[in-house]
Structure 1
């Protein structure tokens, strides 16, 4: 097996885009393709995401054939635990990649790339004026507050009150202060420990549902925030811990979408009020509630998130039949 990739990052969060070498991915719909990868091709994910080619916090993307009539392309996202339903940092990078690698015809000054994600169609707007700036923004699928002020019983921290929202994936939101932590100064491992414990407990106690598909109804992770949810000009900081204790180096595109949706639901922000979001690396995304919408019985918003995607290189990965470690392992 020989797999060629293009390597990128958005806000410090890596993205390994597979260009060639994948076995056929079977399925009529994108969710069927996602399930096929889970059931039949997971060894490829481990080859690309796990060591020795990747690491515990690696992230990747397969470009596949869309089944949405408006889509220019479709994408499957992969990480240390499996396959997510939405990834904002990835679609920002993929928007630029699509223009630069001529998957879509560039239009000046802004090229629109319609990307079908497992959660639905996401529209990415790539700045294009003959120069490669890396800047792009995406408009989310309908995002909403699923439930607010939910009390979770935890073994380690007692009762913890969280908000649960959806921004292409479901997250629990809670201020880091609740655990005596600060998202900008505390040790990352302490933040991860608190967030992962909340996720594990919430998964057992909260039954999620999504109007479109049961495949979307799972808690992806917990986002610890600085508690600054009311609108202000300064950036609000957060750390997103998702999948298997994986830490997002970026502010998290789907996480920003979720935070905006919950803030709007709580009437802490209004339409078209642009907010800045800061990650553990100091990188920034902006997010704004662009318009009201609905998703089944949920009232929500379309959120627009902006950031910059950059190239870091290319790679050709190979395997040898007697290399058991080369099939992938994780140290954590």
Structure 2
């Protein structure tokens, strides 16, 4: 038997077929969905997000959860856009994100490498419509290879600083609230006796979810100035100093239903830039380096200050690298009792 030769196996006509390219950015997975989702006529990305949430959520569950994914899988659905080169709908184990920096870096690399956008050296510009607004990304191209990606995020702003909340399981915590395409609570890890390392993985998830629940229930009310769909606390970000002298600090983000970001969290460090700016700790055009729980790094800086409704906001720039991990065609057999996926922890 020649095990390198396989008889052609084709899905039945009534099976759903989803084609993807998988990547990672800083260790955080990105499953980019290219074919298989239904498309709408002249819809905005927010309309796509609402449509997928209400009518196609079994596809998200099937792609993100086991047996095709896992509890920490992350995805992005590429859709047409009337306002940009293309649109993106972000998804995870619980639902749909409003912004994602690591996925923006990955999909920009894929768009340029795939020829959706003509590859131009040294920088190829890509305009992306995300649920939170328009993102401007730049692929750095050297000898026809995309070696890094940076993007200008939406206006990012501080909601509240130095807030205090008692959480029975954790005691009194101090936190900041800021927006970088999604709303985050920022907590110093040392205040909880935690380290942002792999040995504290489960403790960080547990504490992050308790803080998110506590703030959502008893903390500051979050209201996006223009879109009600964006008015919710997405995650908790723990901050600590880095042992690497070339790195400014470490970020660990716990989001959705207890997912822990392997990357430094692009939208999260965008919100951090707004906090640093509000505290007069960081000016424009000064690069910071933030590392993840794995030690992978994003660079970030404030491009400019802007007014965003009532908020004094900043336009962040975030820079990182993405890498391909595979190409897939997933099949959903309607007779499979686990076709919608499952989750075990």
Q: What TM-score results when the alignment is normalised by the length of structure 1? A: 0.95
RMSD: 1.5
Does residue 221 (structure 1) correspond to residue 264 (structure 2)? The answer is no
Per the TM alignment, residue 277 of structure 1 is displaced from its structure 2 partner at its CA by 0.4
Contact 2:198 2:293 survives alignment (8 Å) = no
Higher mean C-alpha deviation, range 301-310 or range 30-39? 30-39
User: Match for 1:121 among 134, 137, 140?
Assistant: 134
1:212 aligns with 2:212: no
Match of 1:75 in 2: 88
Structure 2: where are the runs of 5+ without partners?
1-15
Does the 8 Å CA contact 1:135/1:309 hold for their aligned counterparts? Answer: yes
Question: Cα gap change, 1:242/1:26 in structure 2, threshold over 3 Å: closer, same or farther?
Answer: farther
Find the aligned partners of 1:216 and 1:185 in 2 and give their Cα distance.
Answer: 31
Distance 1:123 1:278, change over 3 A: same
Equivalent-residue separation in structure 2 for 1:227 and 1:58 (angstroms): 27
User: For 1:282 and 1:203, how far apart are their aligned partners in 2?
Assistant: 30
Q: CA deviation at 1:326?
A: 2.8
Tell me the CA shift for residue 134 of structure 1.
3.5
Question: Residue 29 of structure 1: CA displacement?
Answer: 2.0
* Bigger mean CA deviation after superposition, 40-49 or 219-228: 219-228
1:86 aligns with 2:110: no
1:4 alignment partner in structure 2: 19
Per-residue CA shift, 1:107-161, capped at 9, x if unaligned? 1110010001000001110012333243000001000111111112212122211
Match of 2:185 among 139, 150, 172: 172
Q: Is the 8 A contact 1:48 1:54 kept in 2?
A: yes
Residue of structure 2 equivalent to 1:188: 201
Task: Give 1:31 deviation, angstroms.
Answer: 1.2
Name the counterpart of 1:23: 38
In the aligned structure 1, how far is the partner of 2:73 from the partner of 2:338? 17
SS at match of 1:31: helix
Q: How many residues align?
A: 327
Matched, 1:246 2:246: no
Structure 1 residue 261 corresponds to structure 2 residue 274: yes
> Which residue in the other structure is 1:44 paired with?
59
1:296 to 295, 309, 320: 309
TM norm structure 2: 0.92
Which stretch shifts more, 7-16 or 130-139? 130-139
Q: Secondary structure at the match of 1:128?
A: strand
**Aligned twin of 1:236:** 249
Q: Quick one: distance in 1 between partners of 2:326 and 2:42?
A: 31
Structure 1 unpaired stretches of 5+:
none
Rounded to whole Å, the distance in 2 between the matches of 1:15 and 1:121 is 20
8 Å CA contact 1:126, 1:136 repeated in 2: yes
